[in-house]
C-alpha cells in the first residue's frame, strides 16, 4: 500500500503510468551507454535526479536566451508537471532505452529545436539550435545531476568515475547539437563559470524560480515536492545565491534537508526498485 501511495505521488509530480515495458526489448540492445556505464548508475536514483533536475532548471533560467526558447515556445508556466514528465522521459529513453528509442527521441527534440527562435527579454535574437546555448543546458544538467547524486545518494564516486560520467554524457550533448563540451568534472565546472557574464536575473527568471519554490501540486504530494524543491535549491553552487538574491544555505539547513531526504529516500527507492533501470537490465541480461 505504501509503495502504491509513493508511486501515485511521483506520478502527480512528473506524470507517467504503469510498468516501463517498452524498455524490455529488443533483447541485448545496450542503447547509447549500456549497463556498465556510469551514466546508468547516476541516473538510476529518482531522488537525486529530481533534485539535480530542479537545480539545473534554476541555472538554465539564468541565461536569458536559453530561457527565452522555453518561455516563448512551451507551456511550462501552466504545465510544469508536463515539462518535468517530458524531461524525465527524455532522460530515461536516452539513458536506458534501446538504441532506436534513444535515437527517435533525439531526432524529435532536434526537430523541435529547429523551429524555436525569437527575441529574448533583453532584445537579443536566439536560436534553440545555437550550440552555445545547447552546451549551457548540457553543462548545467550534468553538473547538477552529479552533485545531487554524490550528496543525496551517499555514494561518492572516484575522480575517475566522475570524469567518466561527463565523458559519456558529452556524446549525448553532441548528438543534440552542442559543441566544445568538456569531458571531466572540473572542466565542466570551469565551462559553467565562463557563462557568468551572460547570466541575467530578470523578471522571467524570477518567475521561474517562484514557480519552482511554489510547485503546483495536490495536497497529497505537497510535502514530498516541497522537500525536493528545497533540496534542489540547496544543490546550487554557492556563487548562484547572490545572483538569485538568496542567502547561502547554512550548514544546519543543509543538514536538516539532507537528513529528511535520507529518510524519504528509503521507501521511495523501495517503491521504484522495479523501474526503468531494472527493466532495461532484463533487456540486457534476461533476468
Given this model, what pLDDT does residue 52 score? Answer: 96
C-alpha cell at 221: 504530494
Q: How far apart are CA 213 and CA 56, in angstroms?
A: 14
What SS3 class is residue 156? coil
Single pTM value for the model: 0.92
- Residue bearing cell 550533448: 173
Give the pLDDT confidence score for residue 274 in this predicted structure. Answer: 86
Instruction: For cell 545547447, name the residue.
Output: 134
Per DSSP, the residues of 111-135 read HHHTT-EEE-TTS-EEETT-HHHHH
Dmax (CA) of the chain = 55
pLDDT at site 264: 85
Q: Quote the pLDDT of residue 75.
A: 76
> What is the predicted pLDDT for the residue at 100?
97
Task: From 73, 80, 62, 71, select the one nearest 15 (Cα to Cα).
Answer: 80
pLDDT of 62 reads 98
Tens place of pLDDT for every residue, the chain, 287 residues?
545 556 556 655 555 555 688 999 999 999 999 999 999 999 999 999 999 999 999 999 999 999 999 999 887 777 777 777 788 899 999 999 999 999 999 999 999 999 999 999 999 999 999 999 999 999 999 999 999 999 998 788 999 999 999 999 999 999 999 999 999 999 999 999 999 999 999 999 999 999 988 877 665 567 888 899 999 999 999 999 999 999 999 999 999 999 999 988 888 888 788 889 999 999 999 86
Q: What is the predicted pLDDT for the residue at 158?
A: 95
Q: What are phi and psi of 127, to 5 degrees?
A: -130, 130
Residue 214: the pLDDT is 85
* Residue 78: per-residue pLDDT: 73
Amino acid at each position: 500500500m505504501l509503495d502504491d501511495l509513493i508511486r501515485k505521488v511521483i506520478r502527480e509530480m512528473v506524470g507517467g503510468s504503469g510498468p516501463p515495458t517498452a524498455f524490455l526489448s529488443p533483447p541485448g540492445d545496450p542503447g547509447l551507454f549500456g549497463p556498465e556505464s556510469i551514466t546508468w548508475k547516476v541516473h538510476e536514483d529518482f531522488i537525486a535526479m529530481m533534485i539535480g533536475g530542479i537545480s539545473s532548471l534554476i541555472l538554465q533560467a539564468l541565461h536569458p536566451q536559453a530561457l527565452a526558447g522555453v518561455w516563448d515556445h512551451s507551456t511550462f508556466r501552466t504545465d510544469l508537471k508536463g515539462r518535468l514528465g517530458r524531461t524525465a522521459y527524455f532522460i530515461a529513453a536516452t539513458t536506458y532505452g534501446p538504441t532506436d528509442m534513444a535515437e527517435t527521441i533525439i531526432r524529435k527534440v532536434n526537430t523541435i529545436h529547429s523551429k524555436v527562435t525569437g527575441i529574448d527579454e533583453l532584445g537579443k535574437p536566439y536560436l534553440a539550435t545555437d550550440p552555445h546555448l545547447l552546451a549551457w543546458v548540457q553543462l548545467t544538467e550534468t553538473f547538477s545531476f552529479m552533485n545531487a547524486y554524490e550528496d543525496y545518494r551517499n555514494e561518492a564516486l572516484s575522480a575517475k568515475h566522475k570524469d567518466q560520467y561527463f565523458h559519456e554524457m558529452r556524446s549525448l550533448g553532441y548528438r543534440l547539437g552542442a559543441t566544445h563540451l568538456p569531458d571531466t568534472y572540473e572542466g565542466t565546472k570551469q565551462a559553467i563559470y565562463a557563462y557568468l557574464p551572460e547570466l541575467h536575473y530578470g523578471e522571467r527568471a524570477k518567475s521561474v524560480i517562484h514557480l519552482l519554490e511554489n510547485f503546483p501540486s495536490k495536497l497529497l504530494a505537497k510535502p514530498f515536492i516541497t522537500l525536493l524543491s528545497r533540496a534542489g535549491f540547496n544543490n546550487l553552487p554557492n556563487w548562484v545565491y547572490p545572483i538569485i538574491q538568496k542567502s547561502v544555505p547554512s550548514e544546519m539547513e543543509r543538514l536538516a534537508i539532507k537528513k529528511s531526504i535520507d529518510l524519504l529516500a528509503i521507501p521511495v527507492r523501495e517503491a521504484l526498485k522495479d523501474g526503468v533501470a531494472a527493466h532495461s537490465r532484463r533487456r540486457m541480461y534476461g533476468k
